[in-house]
Structure 1
Amino acid sequence: MKQTKGGLMSFNNFLSTSENRQVSLEFAREGASKNSDMVGILFIMTIDPDVCTKSKIPFADVSQVDFFEGQEAEILFTTHTIFRIDKIQQIHDDHTDRLWKVHLTLVGNDNHELNTLTAHVREEVNLKAPIRGWPQLAFILLKVGEPAKAKKLYKILLQKASSDKERSDYNHKLGWAY
């Protein structure tokens, strides 16, 4: 993460956050103390409500229905919400030397760097004869370095292929996966 300072990051699942710094710090400490190979990270997020509204980034204040009944002041963000990594600093405390705080800023859909990255990814996965559906997913898995998952999917597609051309294409891509 240190090498990506200034870059973009997203979380591949729902993001549970707390407006209560102490609650968040306890979660970070817990993660760092359970395993000596792990570090705890306190994410400090700058969220501009206008960016959420303009970019239609889904989030919900769930503090009244969370487990801690409002003490956590929990805000839930949708999957793949994108942030810029602004600053990374080690937190010194009495409990562990493996705590870090990472300052993030929410990025909207109008961000130039994000749009450039999105266009590049689309170009990378686009073929001369665009493919859709499961074959496209298998191809993307190959491109992002998940050959084992791509193999599984291509084997299924091969069994369901309805033409010699499809079988040829899937066998060819299976060769790439190996």
Structure 2
Amino acid sequence: MDSQGQPARAVTHLHRALTDRVRVLGEDHPDTLASRNNLAGAYRAAGDLGRAIELYEQTLTDRVRVLGEDHPDTLASRNNLACAYESAGDLGRAIELYEQTLTDRVRVLGEDHPDTLISRNNLAYAYESAGDLGRAIPLYEQTLTDSVRVLGEDHPSTLIFRNNLAGAYRAAGDLGRAIELDEQTLTDRVRVLGEDHPDTLTSRNNLAYAYQSAGDLGRAIPLYEQTLTDSVRVLGEDHPDTLASRNNLAYAYESAGDLGRAIELYEQTLTDRVRVLGEDHPSTLASRNRLAGAYESAGDLGRAIELYEQTLTDSVRVLGEDHPMTGTVRSNLAHAVAERDGGETGQL
């Protein structure tokens, strides 16, 4: 249910399901452990990373005790906990856990098991998040090669791995290879999954972002507009992916210097994310930071600084001092204050 843009409702229903399973089946039944894992996932989707991590940690401990270190569900719990650590910005613990999970899955399931491929992809993504593209890109390339061999060119997982490799090329500034791969992935997803599949919409968004990164706003903006229109039609106004599409289009308008349309869209996205995801969701914090940046670009430093200050306070409280988002907002606030006070205003 969290995937339908209603994470708070998902938490309520999954909490009730967990309570029922504990009462009927007991604390240690595999179905009870599965319910606990699902509730943790709903908390993560709702941005409540503190409760998500606590629940994932409990589920992992219980699965180790009840099912054993090497049970596939235990390995899945270890992967999910690593994902939650990553979402919270604790990349050190996330990478350590991803590395352990990959090693265990290779040993228990084999090099070519789909779960092993997913672990390799997740570890590559964590390396990328930590800025270690030197380790991330070869791992993505290996995962894609193995997935093509094991699952085939058109398997949805293969398409995901191709999409992620394109993102890493983009992060490394290799826009030629990124755009080529994004275009291929979009073409393949349209053919395999259809025009309206959520993964196809994601590919269209990513290709637009690659065009934008290359400075080709003429191709990027129409693609963002198409993606938003399709996302509203297919997923609904309030789906998290629709909200992300709206945010991305606003950013493209801002890059094109159309601050009026950008600010209007940022304001709408922030209002919707607060309503749908809650005040403390990481995406809500990101929206608040982007809106503050647009105010700053428009010369409205008073509103920009106030919003940066609020976002920084919330980011420290929700994500912690060391989360990349917290560092970004702190830098943006310092820049805006320096600009207000007549200091240097170099591009951040």
TM-score by length of 2: 0.18
Higher strand share: 1
Q: Which has the higher helix share?
A: 2
Q: State the TM-score, normalizing by the size of structure 1.
A: 0.27
Question: Relative contact order, CA 8 A, sep 6+: which one is greater?
Answer: 1
